Chain A
Amino acid sequence: MRKLLLLISAILVGLVFIARLFYLQVYSGSTYDLFEDSAILKEYTYPKRGYVYDRNGKLLVANQPSYDVMVIPREVKPLDSTDLHEFCKLLNITPEAYQRKLTRATNYSPRLPSPFVPQLSKSDYAVLQEKMRKYEGFYIQKRSLRSYQTTIGANVLGDIGEVNRSIIRKQPYYKLGDLIGKQGVEKTYETTLRGVKGIKFIQKDRFNKNIGPYKNGVFDTLPKPGKDITITIDSQLQAYGELLMKNKRGGIVAIEPGSGEILAMVSGPSYNPNLLVGRNRSKNFTKLYRDSIAKPLFDRGLQAMYPPGSPFKTLNALIALQENVVSTADRFTCNMGYRYGNRIMGCHAHKSPVNMNIGIYESCNAYFANVYRRIIDKYDSPAKGMDIWSNHIKSFGLGDFLGNDLSVGQPGKVPSAETYNRGYGKNKWYTTFTISNAIGQGEVLATPIQLANMAAAIGNRGYYYTPHIIKHIEEDTIPAAYTTPKYTTIEKKHFDPVVQGMFDVYNKGTAKMLQVKGIEICGKTGTAENFAIIDSVKTQLTDHSIFVAFAPKDNPKIAIAVFVENGYFGSRFAGRMASLMIEQYIRGEITRPDMENFVLRYSLEHEYEKPYSNAPFGINRQTTLEPIDEDEFQESLRIKAEITKS
């Protein structure tokens, strides 16, 4: 026994130590990651972020250097009073503030750099840079921020901001403090624009001092600069659209039908993209984000799903021709509406009976109710007919994300037999249950960009290109998906009568007053009912004003959808705005100042206040037009003049 004490102790100690080593090194240790090693300093070099140009080569987004004075408290040598005085003067701070900032930085960490005075002006930087060597422990950190060369297109261009932890977890490329595209093209083309940052691994000692490159720099990389991109936006048209949308809420999307390029993408209300740059970004972003009434960050051109209303009738006409259930000459009577069972779908006063041409330009509900029934009832069961109809509609890009390169979007909604089977039970519903689809109400929802794309497909007589925002990437090509046409299920020959109908909307129909001399515009008005819950009561509000158009009639250069919330009937605001946009784009000047003055002068803010005012209010026929201040109006005219000049 006496002989064994030390032997047993030694064996025991050996086992305990090996167990402890196993616990430390294998059990609780994670796999080694150079990036998580606090002994290795990772020094990044940020490449230039790519510039953004508009379709005409106008620079929209560039970079601006930003200089932060940083401090490493433990390396700071106490300054004598003259030096301190001079340094404070250079930084534009008081000696008290100097002490306060230094204390705060020390409290955070004496060893790690803290921002001391962020974002110096360029002139301050120039003076300071010369003298910086005198002040030990302080240095200047250069960063790159965005510099917007314009005040428009905030929803298109987007912005960059600091990455959050959840992004870092998913994409380890990003480190805390890095900037990333948060919205708009900055988000969708993030990897193109940002380039690849360079990295240097530097071995530190325990005093946090650099003692040389880690492994002689074999892992170090050089930064790759970001690529410049050209977007399809016509900044002049975009600016004009934003001006027209002032004091209104809604969206305008204009597309070049021959290419699918988005010419303008307006969302009202908008904001100045410069608000989201630099030191004030988070403050301003929060303000925009918290505005739950006007929702300036909500892109109404892309995200707002509305019932498409009457413009949708054009598709029903096309399907009817394709399915061969009516001819263009077939006529239906309309006596202030379409009666089915003991119900009625109302219509306005116009001549009767109605053929397809009249049906379109007068926007006759009864005509389209009849046509729609013939489409669905052509087949043995409404379910079969509904699926056939649904497929035709979807071939125009409705009811699904368009597969575009925009950072936000909504699929909209196109019903199929399944939709009604779910609602009523299998085979327990009839065509008349779904009759609202005939006039674009009912179960159909679409976003303005989808309607603009629909107009483009009609203008092209049967095909469209996926709407996209990218026109050109430096040293790269744009995805093939944007340059291959997508064909609708409607044969080309059926488009002519419908296009003629839309042309007659301008000639003699609901948009007669919106004609622009010398430009053959095809359009379709829309007026959509809408409701809000006010004090838990479903209340009807003034109709949405909708307009869909393309021009010229043959080989269209522009297809457009305009949506103005609570703007009342289609031609009142949306129609005017569409005509103005088309003329601005095609002709470069406006020959209908009356229309322009109307749109610029009248505001809809009073409409938007109605649900919140607690006062009784009237809608539609009782609605009023409220002009803005004369000063503001003159200011709008001045902006208009500036836009046309550039």
Chain B
Amino acid sequence: MLRQNQRRFKFDWFTIILFLLLVGFGYVNILSASHIGEITSYFDTSQLYGKHLIFIGLTFLLIILILSFEAKFYERFASIIYLIAILALIGLFVFGKDVNGARSWYGIGSMTIQPSEFAKFATALAVAKYISDLQTNMQTLKDQIRVAAIIFIPAILILLQNDAGSTIVYLAFFFVFYREGLQQIYLVSALSLIALAVLTLKFGILISVVATTTALITRYFLRKKKRASIFQYLLVLIVSILFSYGVKLFYDHGLKTHQQNRISLWLRLEKDPVKLELMKKREAYNLIQSEQAISSGGWTGKGFLEGTRTTGKFVPEQHTDYIFSTVGEEWGFLGSSIVVILFITLIIRILYLSESQKSQFSRVYGYGVASIFFIHFTINTGMVMGLIPTVGIPLPFFSYGGSGLWGFTILLFIFIKLDSNKINEW
């Protein structure tokens, strides 16, 4: 009995408090954003906020369940959990239910479950399991390909279900790989390619080729020692030119019109004011409404349940992907900044804990958790305040929805469980 109590006390309470704050404040905002008419009771289950409260209640059962397993369980069963998740994703093609054009839901009675939310922690476990294997060396191409396959399988399945937003999340694992020894060149190349893609779309292929050439020539002359052969430079140039063409081709023909427009708005590509207005009306309606709601909050916001744009349901999907706009309107700069700080603190705390892990499995998994939160937070909040093109993914712990909340809770609490066990890891 005594031993058990001591052990329970080793959970990282700081992280748990951050979690409780985020979920609690999230509920407050969902209440504001989703209530229809008078609020008779905070537990009114006929309304969305009442349902979400049930989800939160179930979350605590889930937490107890997760913490009651042995820490070793997760490492041992990582592969099986991963397999189940993949099967669940594949099953969607047969049994899935279409919601808003994405086939990513199972309908169980009146409830719906979104397996992609659970595939994240499963993938994180599988990645951790694979990398922490003594045989694995992230510097080798073989292992790089295998570990890439672990994340590509769920990512592609999700993409096929028409949920492009959730696919992007799997890019988070890049941070994990890099931490675990992936060569620098990958990071440099990835950043260069992103820059090149943006350059190509914004200024056209010619300018991007000129820029690439200039960069390569500069590098060539600056690097007097250990200079690579001129052919390698030429190869890089050719690849980047091909990449530019590829990006352009993909943008023009590979993307759906609404995706094209979102990028066009983000990079301010459209110059014709009439077309721009039309595009804004069609694609940026949510964004404009959300920016207006946030802007109208001022220093301290209009107050709980006092947001006129929130009450008037001006921002579509406000209780799900656009929940941060409610924070902006009702709690102002003060409240929004606190939410940003809470998230960043959570991420840094998980990173800190990960680095202090003795087992590589725990560290890699922790890194995966931090990376997934980071990507979700950055993309969702960045989109809601108009810094990033529209990508539909939820804000962890804030957005309405059972699957999302549970997925993130499991993701976090498995790590808390692993962390609590580090004393025993000798």
Contacts and interface: CB of A to CB of B under 8 A. Distances in A.
Contacts of B386: 20
Interface in A2-22: 2-3, 5-7, 9-11, 13-14, 16-18, 20-22
Contacts of A79: none
A532 interface: no
A205 B314 contact: yes
A39 B308 CA distance: 6
B96 interface: no
A610 interface: no
Nearest to A33: B296
A2 B177 CA distance: 10
Interface stretch (A24-32, A258-266, A613-621): A24-32
Contacts of A13: 344, 374, 377-378, 382
A14 B371 contact: no
Nearest to B327: A21
A211 interface: yes
Q: Which of A3, A21, A214 has the most chain B CB atoms inside 10 A of its CB?
A: A21
Nearest to A22: B333
Interface string B285-305: 000010100111111001000
B143 interface: no
A203 B175 contact: no
Contact of A25 (B308, B314, B333, B340): B333
A35 to B, nearest CB: 12
A32 B316 contact: no
Contact of B311 (A11, A20, A32, A39): A39
A25 B313 contact: no
Contacts of A637: none
A25 B289 contact: no
Interface in B332-377: 332-333, 336-337, 340-341, 343-344, 347-348, 351, 355, 367, 370-371, 374, 377
A16 B387 CA distance: 10
B241 interface: no
Contact of B296 (A29, A203, A211, A215): A29
Nearest to B341: A14
A522 to B, nearest CB: 70
Contacts of A9: 175, 374
B298 A21 contact: no
A22 B381 CA distance: 14
A21 B344 contact: no
Q: Which of B337, B370, B386 has the most chain A CB atoms inside 10 A of its CB?
A: B337
Contact of A7 (B297, B299, B341, B351): B351
Given A2-B179, A3-B355, A37-B296, A10 B348 contact: yes
A206 interface: yes
A21 B294 CA distance: 8
A204 B385 contact: no
A531 B215 CA distance: 84
Given A13-B344, A17-B381, A21-B294, A40 B313 contact: no
Nearest to A14: B344
Nearest to A204: B312
A212 B313 CA distance: 13
A20 B314 contact: no
B25 to A, nearest CB: 16
A215 to B, nearest CB: 8
B328 interface: yes
Nearest to B38: A212
B314 A39 contact: yes
Q: Which of A16, A17, A205, A211 has the most chain B CB atoms inside 10 A of its CB?
A: A17
A3 B356 CA distance: 12
Contacts of A206: 289, 312-316
Contacts of B316: 206
Q: Which of A10, A13, A32, A206 has the most chain B CB atoms inside 10 A of its CB?
A: A10
Given A25-B295, A25-B332, A206-B313, A10 B337 contact: no
A252 B103 CA distance: 87
Contacts of A10: 344, 347-348, 351, 370, 374
B52 interface: no
Contacts of B341: 14, 18
Given A10-B348, A25-B295, A32-B296, A3 B179 contact: yes
Contacts of B328: 21, 24-25
Nearest to A29: B295
B311 A24 contact: no
A19 to B, nearest CB: 10
A28 B367 CA distance: 38
B179 A5 contact: yes
A18 B336 CA distance: 8
B309 interface: yes
Contacts of B95: none
B367 A29 contact: no
A5 B377 CA distance: 17
A211 B312 contact: yes
Contacts of A28: 295
Given A22-B333, A37-B308, A205 B313 contact: yes
A111 to B, nearest CB: 13
B93 interface: no
Given A6-B374, A26-B333, A31-B298, A11 B344 contact: yes
Q: Which of A11, A20, A24 has the most chain B CB atoms inside 10 A of its CB?
A: A24
A3 B175 CA distance: 9
Contacts of A20: 385-387
Given A2-B179, A18-B340, A24 B294 contact: yes
A5 B295 CA distance: 32
A42 to B, nearest CB: 12
Contacts of B187: 5
A206 B306 CA distance: 16
Nearest to B311: A203
Interface in A195-215: 203-206, 211-212, 214-215
Contacts of B347: 6, 10
A25 B298 contact: yes
Contacts of B289: 206
Contacts of B309: 39
Nearest to B309: A39
A25 B297 contact: yes
A531 to B, nearest CB: 57
A31 B367 CA distance: 43
A223 B337 CA distance: 43
A194 B347 CA distance: 62
A206 B344 CA distance: 33
A6 B370 contact: yes
Given A203-B308, A205-B314, A6 B299 contact: no
A6 B370 CA distance: 8
Nearest to B294: A24
A37 B336 CA distance: 21
Given A6-B367, A11-B344, A39-B314, A24 B291 contact: yes
B203 interface: no
Contacts of B348: 7, 10-11
Interface string A21-56: 110111011011000010110000000000000000
Given A3-B355, A18-B337, A25-B294, 8 more contacts: A9-B175, A10-B370, A13-B378, A14-B341, A21-B294, A39-B311, A40-B308, A214-B308
Interface of A: 2-3, 5-7, 9-11, 13-14, 16-18, 20-22, 24-26, 28-29, 31-32, 37, 39-40, 203-206, 211-212, 214-215
14 contacts: A5-B179, A6-B347, A6-B370, A14-B340, A18-B341, A25-B297, A25-B298, A29-B295, A29-B296, A37-B308, A40-B308, A205-B313, A206-B316, A211-B312
Interface of B: 37, 175, 178-179, 181, 187, 289, 291, 294-299, 302, 306, 308-309, 311-316, 328, 332-333, 336-337, 340-341, 343-344, 347-348, 351, 355, 367, 370-371, 374, 377-378, 381-382, 385-387
Closest 6 A/B residue pairs (Cβ): A14-B344, A39-B308, A25-B333, A39-B312, A206-B314, A205-B312
